Amino acid sequence: MSNLIIVESPTKIKTIKRYLSGDYEVIASRGHLRDLPKSKLGVDIENNFEPHYINIKDKEPIIKEIKKKAKKCDHVYLAGDPDREGEAISWHLAQILGLDLNDANRVTFKELTASGIKAGMEHPRQIDMNLVDAQQARRVLDRIVGYKLSPFLWRKIRRGLSAGRVQSVAVKMICDREEEIRKFVSTEYWSVDAEFLAKGAKKPFSAKLELVDGKKPELLSKEQTDAALERLDGAVFTAANVKKSVRRKSPAAPFTTSTLQQEASRRLSFQARRTMKVAQELYEGLEIQDMGPVGLITYMRTDSQRVSDEARAQAYDFIKEKYGEDYIPETPNKYKTKGNAQDAHEAIRPSYIDRQSIEGTPAEKKLYDLIWKRTVASQMVCAELDRTTIVIDMSGSSQQFVATGEVVRFDGFLRLYSESTDDDQAA
């Protein structure tokens, strides 16, 4: 054995080894191996908040095994997940094994495919101490807030309560919102909708009362509404203005971590924790018939909406074959990532665009299908909708109804996928 690769999860081992050629051994750390001690604060507040790490007691057998294997190899590659936690785990491993932080021994796999693993192994780098420090800052804040504030809650409220860096702020936001709700004064309001049937038409359409005496109606009681309705008796309604326009509807961006959780909740009724668990399984690899263990999606913790040129080309090939060239945009769709977002990874997408469905559990199949459709649809042309607005005047009165409607002129990406909304879920 001359090369040792240390990953976080043991479920990745088969997938990674399948694509490696040469003398490689792969072992898993199974998460963090060092942490702050539980028995005390573990942070030197007087000395620049220096953390004091110790080996996690339950991980001693794993540490012993990793050290034993590392001694027998020429090269050790630290392959923690490509995020802050993975960078910190790699740094802790380097400390445990006595590795030189100036060595290029950190590798990341953005997708567990042949090309993803090859790219990772071909571009080793030094451990990114900025990412490590970011993780350490979060961990130190967790410890300070938790260990300093929790005892205060025990004294003032009840023993057993806990406080945390995120938890405490979330409780404050909930309390503020509850206070707003209690202070809210409900106000009654009414609206008037009518159904009209045009001459020669078979199907009625709905319109809403928008103007009364030249201004927006204030119908705050049944009496006011009844008065508005009385003015409708015996009236003749005329379409005073018909406006037609074409609206372009753009496809939703590829999934980030947060949008995947939201859409999985709306469409699949998955809780966020379940969504991330299933996504982790898809990323780390499933046994596929005639292929063995295969990583099926890119890394699932990302706030980037970027898709690689290679993946976009694969999507275009599928779209052209399935729907025709009219469904491919003239220029690639651009999605603007938020200014404070990390763009180290791509959006969450299938590793193989040509694999439309997978083998796996029902949850894995459903989530993969959602990711696949969202990715391909994001690369399709916009939909075109014919929008019609009809203004209906009432004879002898200044009351006015407005009706709007849309019909699909060209379905575009809607042929494959349409983003859901919270209103859809409520319905």
Residue tagged 């966020």 (tokens):
272
62 bridge partner residues:
none
Contact of 104 with 32, CB cutoff 8 Å: no
Residue tagged 């043991």 (tokens):
10
6 CB-near residues (< 8 Å, 6+ apart): 26, 27, 28, 29, 66, 76, 77, 78, 79, 80, 90, 93
Contact of 307 with 346, CB cutoff 8 Å: yes
- Which of 284, 279, 285 is closest to 371 using CA atoms? 279
**CA quadruple 263, 268, 271, 274: dihedral positive or negative?**
negative
Contact of 421 with 259, CB cutoff 8 Å: no
By annotation, the residues acting in catalysis are 299
**CA quadruple 24, 30, 32, 37: dihedral positive or negative?**
negative
- The DSSP-derived string for 345-396 is S--B-BS-TT-----S-HHHHHHHHHHHHHHHHHTSPPEEEEEEEEEEEETT
192 CB-near residues (< 8 Å, 6+ apart): 208, 209, 217, 219, 225, 228, 229
| Cα angle, residue 103 at apex, residues 99 and 109 outer, rounded to 5° | 95
- Which of 266, 250, 251, 268 is closest to 368 using CA atoms? 268
Q: For residue 311, give the amino acid letter.
A: A
The two three-digit tokens of residue 203, written as one number: 């199907």
Distance of CA 57 to the CA centre of its chain: 35
Spatial distance between the Cα atoms of 251 and 99, rounded to a whole number of angstroms: 47
